[in-house]
Structure 1
Amino acid sequence: MSKALEGHRARKRFGQNFLQDEMVIDAIVEAIAPQPGEPMVEIGPGLAALTRPVAERAGHLHVVELDRDLATRLETANEFAGKLTVHRADALQYDFGALSRELGKPLRVFGNLPYNISTPLIFHLLSQLDTISDMHFMLQKEVVARMAAAPGSKAFGRLTVMIQQACKVIPVIEVPPEAFDPAPKVDSAVVRLEPYSESPWPVLDRSTLNHVCHMAFHQRRKTMRNNMKKLMSAEELESINIDPTVRPETLAVADFVRMANWITENDRTI
């Protein structure tokens, strides 16, 4: 930690858990592999555990930080002079697309995400994927498992479908609680998300896909016939090769995309 950042206490309202294990930090930076001149963007730099080595490798780094105290400390730290652009913003509201257009390149986004906002933040980024080349995030191990889940597993759900439709999911490293200060009560993991230039399962409208997933997984123990009845009849499900008697987690990403596209093409109100 730099002297400029010493004395900052983690704030529960921001979900702050600061990474401090040097071996874990090195492994994450190696996985990210920043190159000189690349448009790197860090969400929630915290005490700069990843900020410092990535800025050194890339030459310059953009950071999005909501905590005003940390933002000020980063802006005034001599070690980051000329290497850091601090965006004082809530990442959930931040326009990553505008930054990409300003820089003229797709962004490489990374961060140790606060657990309390990780899923909505990833959904926010999914809406701007055409301006992102890859993402590396520290998340709850359980969330990474859901992202990478295969059909038929208990972890398979809405997050799985929404992420896998848009990105290749690559678990990178598992991280124990003691790697952080304060130590969280859960295990963590780093995942790499690589947006597809062309998805294997093209979707006509991502918001419709999200709604289909929400309907399908809202009551996981019920069949697709029951869960989808407000949008599609059993006969309509069968017409696109969806068995209405199965539970949602037994289907594949392609099945959910097929339902979403059918709903869009048939102008069903959602």
Structure 2
Amino acid sequence: MSLEALPPLRDALAAHGLMAKKAFGQHFLLDLNITRKIARLAELKPGDRVIEVGPGPGGLTRALLETGARVTAIEKDQRFRPLLEDLAAATAAGALTLVFADALAADEAELMEGDPGHVVSNLPYNVGTALLIKWLTGPWRPSSMTLMFQKEVAQRISAAVDGDAYGRLAVIAQATCAAQTVMDVPARAFTPPPKVESAVVRLTPLADRPSPERLDALQKLTAAAFGQRRKMLRASLKSLGGEALIGAAGLDPQARAETVDVAGFLRLADAWLAARARQAAGAVA
């Protein structure tokens, strides 16, 4: 059997009596025109290694395999095993690797065997943000990410400073990647239709990505600053150094988190790390 000979996705789902599970945040994308467009936006080349999370019945998986990429699909829902195994059998040996596990616990570096790889996914709504933070800050660094989110989440990723959607997610994403919304997807494109619109975001890692220590500091500072986003920085960052820290970063203590750009938060991270280093040196002396 070949990919072209596989039954339509709707027929395959009906044959196995499968429906989307709300608990897993599932909404099936069955329109192959849309999945093929997402695969094109990912700019994959034959032989590229790709991780896909939450393939479900395999709509996007089919489109990714059509590019010649080698796909590792991570699926938590065992109900889809027969459909995905049929898909694997219809492709060349090694083109599709199936991993039935929780993607939040997956070791992507091990799965990719040292290849940076790419991530292309219609992410389950209930874990999409957590997975993105994992890939942005973790030790495994994909070459690119082309990800579908709820439109609201997509807007938060690419939001500009001082906008309503600007927050912790925008700072961490834009400190590590160039982020751009490349496609809107209406609710009617899914089965069943979600109550919200969706969008595809393309993230390309920056050459000067912050070090792990700097990223850890950035996460702590943005959690504190945006956790009390209506307060001035001198209040929201009081436990992390307060006005001394803010002054060292060249920022206004009366500013609020949503008015501080990514570069400003990186200066705060540097100042916090420097203060910790001085404290450690003083303790040793």
Q: Is the structural similarity TM-score above 0.5?
A: yes
In 1, the alpha carbon distance for the partners of 2:139 and 2:182 equals 21
State the partner residue of 2:102. Answer: 90
Corresponding position: 1:207 with 2:207: no
Q: Shift of the alpha carbon at 1:246?
A: 1.1
Q: SS at the partner of 2:170?
A: helix
How many residue pairs get matched? 266
In 2, the alpha carbon distance for the partners of 1:208 and 1:164 equals 15
State the partner residue of 2:3. Answer: none
Mean alpha-carbon deviation: is it higher for 78-87 or for 186-195? 78-87
- Evaluate the alpha carbon distance shift between residue 24 and residue 73 of structure 1 in structure 2; reply closer, same or farther with a 3 A threshold: closer
The question of whether the paired residues in 1 share the 8 Å contact of 2:76 and 2:101 is answered with yes
Q: Shift of the alpha carbon at 1:18?
A: 0.5
For residue 120 of structure 1, the aligned residue among 105, 127, 130 is 130
Q: Deviations over 1:135-164 (max 9, x none)?
A: 111101111111111111111100011111
In 1, the alpha carbon distance for the partners of 2:263 and 2:212 equals 10
In 1, the alpha carbon distance for the partners of 2:186 and 2:46 equals 31
Corresponding position: 1:79 with 2:75: no
For residue 216 of structure 1, the aligned residue among 214, 220, 225 is 225
- Equivalences for 1:1-270 in 2 at 5 Å? 1-2=8-9, 4-6=12-14, 7-77=17-87, 78-80=89-91, 82=93, 83-100=95-112, 102=113, 104-128=114-138, 130-199=140-209, 204-267=213-276
Q: Shift of the alpha carbon at 1:5?
A: 4.3
Q: Shift of the alpha carbon at 1:217?
A: 0.5
Q: SS at the partner of 1:132?
A: coil
Q: Shift of the alpha carbon at 1:59?
A: 4.9
State the partner residue of 2:283. Answer: none
Q: SS at the partner of 1:120?
A: helix
The question of whether the paired residues in 1 share the 8 Å contact of 2:177 and 2:204 is answered with yes
Q: SS at the partner of 1:139?
A: strand
In 1, the alpha carbon distance for the partners of 2:157 and 2:84 equals 32
Whose helix fraction is larger, Structure 1's or Structure 2's? 2
The question of whether the paired residues in 2 share the 8 Å contact of 1:5 and 1:70 is answered with no
- Evaluate the alpha carbon distance shift between residue 212 and residue 16 of structure 1 in structure 2; reply closer, same or farther with a 3 A threshold: same
Q: SS at the partner of 1:58?
A: coil
In 1, the alpha carbon distance for the partners of 2:229 and 2:63 equals 43
Q: SS at the partner of 1:92?
A: helix
The question of whether the paired residues in 1 share the 8 Å contact of 2:147 and 2:202 is answered with yes
Q: SS at the partner of 1:236?
A: helix
Paired letter, 2:161 = P
The question of whether the paired residues in 1 share the 8 Å contact of 2:71 and 2:96 is answered with yes
TM-score computed with the length of structure 2 as normaliser = 0.87
- Evaluate the alpha carbon distance shift between residue 73 and residue 249 of structure 1 in structure 2; reply closer, same or farther with a 3 A threshold: same
Q: SS at the partner of 2:103?
A: coil
Q: SS at the partner of 2:267?
A: helix
Q: Deviations over 1:168-223 (max 9, x none)?
A: 10111011100000000001000001111323x66743222111001000121111
Q: Deviations over 1:98-142 (max 9, x none)?
A: 123x1x421111111111111111111123365310011110111
The question of whether the paired residues in 2 share the 8 Å contact of 1:105 and 1:131 is answered with no
Q: Which stretches of structure 1, 4 residues or more, deviate above 4 A after TM superposition?
A: 2-5
* Identity, % of aligned positions: 38
Flag structure 1 segments of 5+ consecutive residues without an equivalent.
none
